Amino acid sequence: MKLPHRYRLIIGYDGTDFHGWQHNEGFRTVQGELTQAAGVIVGGPVEVEGSSRTDTGVHALGHLVRIRLAKEVDVYQFQHSLQGVSPRDIEVIDCVEAVSDWHPRFHAIGKRYLYRIWNSPRRPLFGERTCWWVRPELDCEKMQQAAEGLIGRHDFAAYRSRSKQEREDTVRTLHQISVLRHGSSVSIQVVGDGFLYRMVRNLVGVLVEVGRGLREVDDPTRILASTDRQQAGFAAPAPGLFLMEVACRGEPLPQCLEQPMTL
C-alpha cells in the first residue's frame, strides 16, 4: 500500500546511543525511533526514509527525511507532536509538505559534513561524546595543503570502506575541504556531491596523520591515485562526525563555514 501524504523533515540527533540511522531489528536506530514516534501520533502505517545512512555513533544537525503517512496532517502540529513523542536525543528541526516525487537520497546533489577534533594534551571536559581527542599538536596549514589535492571529481576507492549495500561506482566530486582551528578545537568540513561508506572518516584519518607529521603533504593525493584502500590507513572515530546539511535539486550547494563548532 502506497502512503499518499509525504512530508519533508530536517532532523538532528546525537548518534552516541544509536546503532546508526537505518532500521536494524533488535537495535536502537534513528529511523526506527522516528517510525515508532510518528506511528503513535497518526495511529496508522508510517514510512521513513533518510538522505544518508549514518553509521553507529555518527551525529546529525541537518539530516533530510521523507515521512509518508496514510492521512494528511497539519505540518506545524505534526512537527511539535513528533518532537514531543521522540526521544531526547532526536530533534525535529523543520517539517513541510513534500512534492510527490521528492526523495531525500535520490534527489540530493550536495552534502556538508563536519568532523570535530579536540587537539590538546588535556582531555576535553565537555563534548567528549562529539569529538575525537588528539593529543599531539596538529599542523592545520599542512592539513589544508594536503586536502587541496582531493578537491574535484576523482575515484575515491582508496577512501571508502566496503559496504554490502553500496554501489560499485566510486567516483565522487568534492567541492570544498576546509581545516580550521579555534583554540584547541579543530574542524574539518567537507562538501561533495555524495560520499562513499566511511569516506569522510577515512579522509580525516589521513589528514590527521599529515598534521601530526606522520605523512607527507602529498600523501593524500598519492593515496587517492592508488585506489587502494590499504594505503589510507585507519578511519577517524565515529563520535567526531556530523552530517550538517543536505541540498537537493534546485537548491544551492552547501558551503563550508568559516567558524568551527567549539566545545
Between helix 219-226 and helix 140-148 the angle, nearest 10°, is: 30
The three cell numbers locating residue 5: 501524504
Q: In which residue are the cell numbers 526523495 written?
A: 103
| Nine-digit cell string for 24 | 536494524
DSSP state of 102: -
Q: Which is nearest to 198 in space by CA: 56, 18, 27, 15?
A: 56
The residue among 202, 214, 209, 59 whose CA lies nearest residue 131 is 59
Give the Cα separation of 186 and 184 in Å (integer): 6
**Catalytic one among 55, 74, 169, 193?**
55
For this structure, is 55 an active site residue? Answer: yes
Q: Is the dihedral of CA 210, 211, 217, 220 positive or negative?
A: positive
User: What is the distance of C-alpha 194 from the center of its chain?
Assistant: 10
Cell 548518534 belongs to 15
Which residues carry out catalysis?
A: 55
